[in-house]
Amino acid sequence: MKEIIQSVNGDEINLSNVGIFYNEDNLKASETVQITAKTLEAHGINTKILTTDNFTPEITFAVILGGDGTILKAARYYAPFEVPILGINLGRLGFLSQAKSSQADKAIEYILNGSFKIEDRIMLSALDGKLNALNDIVIKGDSFSRTSRLYVHINDNLVCDYLADGIIISTPTGSTAYTLSAGGPILSPVLDAVVIVPICPHTMNARPIVIPSDEIIKVTSNPDKPLLKISADGQNTYDLQNNEYIEIKKSKHKAKLILLNLEKNSFYNVLKEKLHWGLSWKG
Q: Which residues contact 27 (CB under 8 A, 6 or more apart)?
A: none
pLDDT at 283 over 60: no
Q: Is 68 a known active-site residue?
A: yes
- pLDDT more than 90, % of the chain: 66
For the entire predicted model, the pTM comes to: 0.91
Q: Identify the structural domains of the chain with CATH numbers, from first to last.
A: 4-115+261-275 (3.40.50.10330), 125-251 (2.60.200.30)
- Which of 167, 170, 164, 168 lies closest to 193, judged by CA? 170
As a whole number of angstroms, the distance between CA 170 and CA 233 comes to 9
Phi, psi of 43 (to 5 degrees): -100, 15
Beta carbons within 8 Å of 266's beta carbon, 6+ residues apart: none
Q: What pLDDT digit, counting tens, does each position of 217-274 carry?
A: 999 887 766 678 999 999 989 988 766 789 999 999 999 999 996 656 677 777 777 6
| CA separation for the pair 21, 249 (Å, rounded) | 29
The Cα–Cα gap between 238 and 131 comes to 9
Indicate whether 102 pLDDT > 80: yes
Tell me the pLDDT tens digit for each residue of 104-150.
999 999 999 999 999 999 999 999 999 999 999 999 987 666 788 89
Give the chain's mean pLDDT: 89
pLDDT at 24: 81
Q: What is the pLDDT of residues 153-212, one digit of tens each?
A: 999 999 999 999 999 999 999 999 999 999 999 999 999 999 999 999 988 788 899 999
Which of 11, 25, 53, 68 is an active site residue? 68
Residue 250 makes CB contacts below 8 A (sequence gap 6+) with 122, 123, 124, 125, 194, 213, 214
Alpha-carbon distance 86 to 115, whole Å?
13
Numbers of helices and strands, H then E, in the chain: 5, 19
Q: So what's the pLDDT on residue 72?
A: 96
pLDDT digits (tens, 9 = 90+) for 262-281: 656 677 777 777 676 666 66
Q: What is the pLDDT of residue 1?
A: 63
C-alpha 279/C-alpha 115 separation (Å) is 29
DSSP codes of every residue in 158-179: EEEEEEESEEEEE-TGGGGTHH
Closest C-alpha to 52, from 22, 85, 76: 22
Give the chain's end-to-end CA distance (angstroms, integer): 53
Strand duo 61-66 + 18-22: pairing: parallel
Residue 269: per-residue pLDDT: 76
Half-sphere exposure of 80 (CA within 13 A, CB side): 11
